[in-house]
Structure 1
Amino acid sequence: MELNQICDEFSATGQISPADLQQIAAAGFKTIVDNRPDGEAPDQPSSADMEAAAHKLGLGFAYIPIIPGQLSEHEAQELRQVMATMQAPVLGYCRSGARTAALWQLYSNLPADPPKLGS
């Protein structure tokens, strides 16, 4: 597993499995973000399996699937919610880590204060 530490609070990596979560927890991560849509590859674990395994180890888990080429502000807002409500450091993953890194970039460019409804 190759980690791309983007900042103190967030790192990205390629596909992980439930068996990797023990090592991830031992490395100090507190939350896992799955950015890979279920069923993208026949050998990938489902988000439900990953969530169950993460919770057994006391890790937080969020599922923010990103279809290749379809990253939008919606996913960045979902990551904003994760970063505001779950414990850091966070490890996000997808097939190679590229979509997760792109998600962080989009998230980091969001306005500091979200627009108010009706504005």
Structure 2
Amino acid sequence: MNIRQIADNYAVSPQISVEDVAAIKAAGFKSVICNRPDNEDPGQPSADTIKTAVEAAGLEFRWVPVVSGQMTMQNVEEQAEALDALPRPVFAYCRSGTRCTNLYAAIQQMKG
């Protein structure tokens, strides 16, 4: 798992596994956001599978799926709502971490 710190309370990573959840918690994160649609790649763990592990570890979880290369304003607004509602710091993941990073950048632009 390759965690990239984007802001004080926000970091991103490529796809995680159930086994990564303990390390995410140990790193001090309070919440996890999945920005990957289910079945994007064969063998990828579903959002529900990760959600179950995240919540069992005592962390909060949100699923804000974004189709690769097709980020919409609705996606940006949903991510912003999740970030406002979730305890921080927040850990977000997608296939490579790029969508999570782009969503965060779009939110910052929206806030002006």
TM range (shorter): over 0.9
Calculate the TM-score normalised by the size of structure 2: 0.95
> How many residues end up aligned between the 2 structures?
112
Indicate yes or no: 2:36 matched with 1:36.
Answer: yes
SS of structure 1 residue aligned to 2:40: coil
- Structure number with bigger Rg: 1
Secondary structure of the residue aligned to 1:87 is coil
Coordinate RMSD, CA, aligned:
1.0
CA distance in 1, matches of 2:19, 2:81: 27
CA distance in 1, matches of 2:83, 2:111: 15
Partner of 1:98: 98
Q: Which runs of 4+ in 1 moved over 3 A?
A: none
d(CA) in 2 for partners of 1:80, 1:101: 12
In structure 1, the gaps of 5 or more residues are: 113-119
**2:70 paired with 1:76:** no
- Note the alpha carbon deviations across 1:32-51, whole angstroms, 9 max, x for none: 01011100111110001111
Q: Percent identity?
A: 36
Shift of 1:110: 1.2
Normalising by the residue count of structure 1, what TM-score does the alignment of the two structures yield?
0.90
Mapped partners of 2:43, 2:105: distance in 1: 28
Deviations 1:58-95 (A, max 9, x none): 11101011101111111111111112111010011011
Taking the TM superposition and a 5 Å limit, the aligned residue runs for 1:1-119 are 1-111=1-111
Question: CA shift at 1:3, angstroms?
Answer: 1.2
Q: CA deviation at 1:111?
A: 3.3
Structure number with higher helix proportion = 2
